[in-house]
Amino acid sequence: MPELPEVEVLRRSLEGLVLGRRIVRARALSPALREPLRQGELRKLVDGRRIIALRRRSKYLLLDLERDATLVVHLGMSGRLTLDHRANPRLLHEHVVLDLDDDEQLRFRDPRRFGLVFALPTQGLASDRHFVRLGAEPLDAAFQADDLWRSGRRRRTSIKALLMDAGVMVGVGNIYASEALHLAGIDPRRQAARVSRMRYGRLLGVVREVLERAIASGGTTLNDFADAVGEPGYFSVSLAVYDREGETCLRCGGVVRRIVQGNRSTYFCPRCQR
DNA sequence: CGGGCGGCCTGGAGGC
DNA sequence: TGCCTCCAGGCCGCCC
């Protein structure tokens, strides 16, 4: 569920809380995540260093530390990163605890274990296997509609799968792909190659619009997402089609349908999406 | 190499 | 009420 807006909301909420603070000690409590936690590496690169920047690349949260280190956090499906007081009881499924230079801790917990936490030298980020194949940031002004069109013009896959292809453009997952295609009036089943150059122009625009609006609402919380102090997001009430099967299309009065594409649910309105 | 699909994982929902 | 099955999806690896 956490897509670009949720990670960006988390980044912003953390920035005000931990920027400039020192991580005294990193502890890996329960190593089973998507990739096993590497306690030794974590401690070597994290212990005793100040947080000097919080960045986001794709759905990865990056905590840059002094002396060329970066702590990478991916929320997977159910991950949370929160600032807690040391005295607060430890919850189930806590994988990493970062002791700060006072009585507070950053805690990562992820019941479904699709998440990821690791550290590496900052200068090695771009060439790291997690980042090396990632496509453009949709909110980067240097990425333009014609770039998206060029990526899709020869692709036989569906336009929805193209939007979610992180090698082309990052950050758009199942929820925002459905929402953007509804806003753009494009049938999600349409082949990427059969979407006109003009409609690609509108499509990147609505992708940006829906991502920005979701960020402004604190993200979409269906089950698990929360920011650094545990606050859920409120964009779910603004979703036009996602999880609204059988309900009325707010734009045209048609009925929202659910189909399965690539083992994922897609929601759309067959009446106003062509 | 594009593209489709299955597996990872657990909590919550729904059916009976 | 309790047990079972199914579903949620980001990412990666596998296979054609």
Check if residue A60 sits with its Cβ under 7 angstroms from strand C.
Answer: yes
Q: What is the mean pLDDT of chain A?
A: 93
What kind and span of H or E run contains A108?
Answer: strand A104-109
pLDDT of residue A145: 95
Per-residue pLDDT band for A85 (boundaries 50, 70, 90) equals: very high
Helical axes A197-216 vs A4-18, angle rounded to 10°: 40
Which residues does residue A73 pair with via DSSP β-bridges, in sequence order?
A: A61, A117
Q: Is residue A221's beta carbon less than 7 angstroms from any atom in nucleic acid strand C?
A: no
Closest CA to A81 of A106, A102, A51, A63: A106
What is the structure's pLDDT at A4? Answer: 94
Query: What is the residue type of A267?
Result: Y
Residue A165's identity, in one-letter code, is D
Q: On chain B, which bases lie within 7 A of the protein's CB atoms?
A: 2-12
Judged against a pLDDT cut of 80, whether residue A273 lies above it is answered with: yes
Would you say residue A251 has pLDDT above 90? yes
Say what the pLDDT of residue A31 is: 87
The pLDDT of residue A121: 96
Distance in Å from C3's C1' to A83's CA comes to 38
pLDDT single digits (tens) A56-75: 999 999 999 999 999 999 99
- pLDDT tens, position by position, A192-229: 999 999 999 999 999 999 999 999 999 988 877 889 99
Q: What percent of chain A has pLDDT over 70?
A: 100
Q: Distance between CA atoms of A69 and A42, rounded to whole angstroms? A: 10
| Residue A114 beta carbon within 7 A of nucleic strand C | yes
User: Does residue A77 approach strand C to less than 7 Å at its CB?
Assistant: yes
Instruction: Give A118-170 pLDDT, tens digit per residue.
Output: 999 999 999 999 999 999 999 999 999 999 999 999 999 999 999 999 999 99
Check residue A263 and give its pLDDT.
Answer: 86
* Catalytic site positions of A: 2-3, 59, 264
Distance CA A153, CA A90 (A): 51
Q: How far is the CA of A168 from the C1' of B1 (A)?
A: 15
State pLDDT tens for residues A92-120: 889 999 999 999 999 999 999 999 999 99
Q: Which residues contact A17 (CB under 8 A, 6 or more apart)?
A: A83, A228, A229
* pLDDT score recorded for residue A165: 95
In this predicted structure, what is the pLDDT of residue A22?
98
- Compute the distance between CA of residue A126 and CA of residue A91 in angstroms, rounded to an integer: 34
Nearest nt to the CA of A59 via C1' is C10
A2 touches strand C (CB under 7 A): yes
